[in-house]
């Protein structure tokens, strides 16, 4: 099993890093690295976090967690964990 980030999730992580780096490069690196590490940890415990409450008709494979005011939504597939989106919790969630 592998962790795969969608292009939009990667772009959002980059934007978050660049925004935080305007004030503190050290904090930007910490937030980025922690979020990446948490997604890698999903390989051992993919169902660690609760079902994504914003996913309509969730079959239990769509899950999400929050760290440092960022929400990471992911989907557990047969041979990968797909990081679907990343957003700051101050932004309105998308129902999908």
Task: Spell out a b/e string for 2-33, using b for 16 or more CB atoms within 10 Å of the CB, else e.
Answer: ebbbbeebeebbeebbeebeeeeeeebeebbe
Using CA atoms, how far residue 76 sits from 8, 41, 42, 44, 81, in Å, is 18, 13, 9, 12, 5
11/74 Cα distance (integer angstroms): 15
Q: Give the total number of structural domains in the chain.
A: 1
pLDDT (tens digit, 9 = 90+) per residue, 22-33? 999 999 999 999
> Average pLDDT for residues 36-40, to the nearest whole number?
98
Domain span at 21: 2-88
Q: Examine residue 94 and state whether it is found in any structural domain, yes or no.
A: no
Residue 49: HSE in the Cβ half-sphere, 13 Å Cα cutoff: 22
In a domain, 79, yes or no: yes
The predicted model scores a pTM of 0.91
> Does any domain span residue 95?
no
Task: Check pLDDT > 90 for residue 94.
Answer: no
Q: What integer is the mean pLDDT of 8-24?
A: 97
pLDDT at 91: 82
Q: What is the CATH number of the domain that holds 18?
A: 3.30.2310.20
């Amino acid at each position: 099993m592998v962790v795969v980030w969608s292009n939009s999730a990667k772009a959002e992580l980059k934007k978050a890093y660049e925004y935080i780096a305007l004030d503190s490069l050290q904090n930007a690196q910490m937030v980025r690295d922690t979020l990446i590490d948490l997604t890698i940890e999903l390989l051992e415990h993919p169902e660690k976090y609760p079902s994504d409450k914003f996913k309509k008709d969730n079959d239990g494979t769509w899950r999400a967690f929050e760290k440092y005011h960022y929400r990471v939504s992911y989907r557990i597939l047969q041979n990968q964990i797909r990081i679907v989106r990343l957003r700051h919790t101050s932004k309105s969630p998308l129902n999908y």
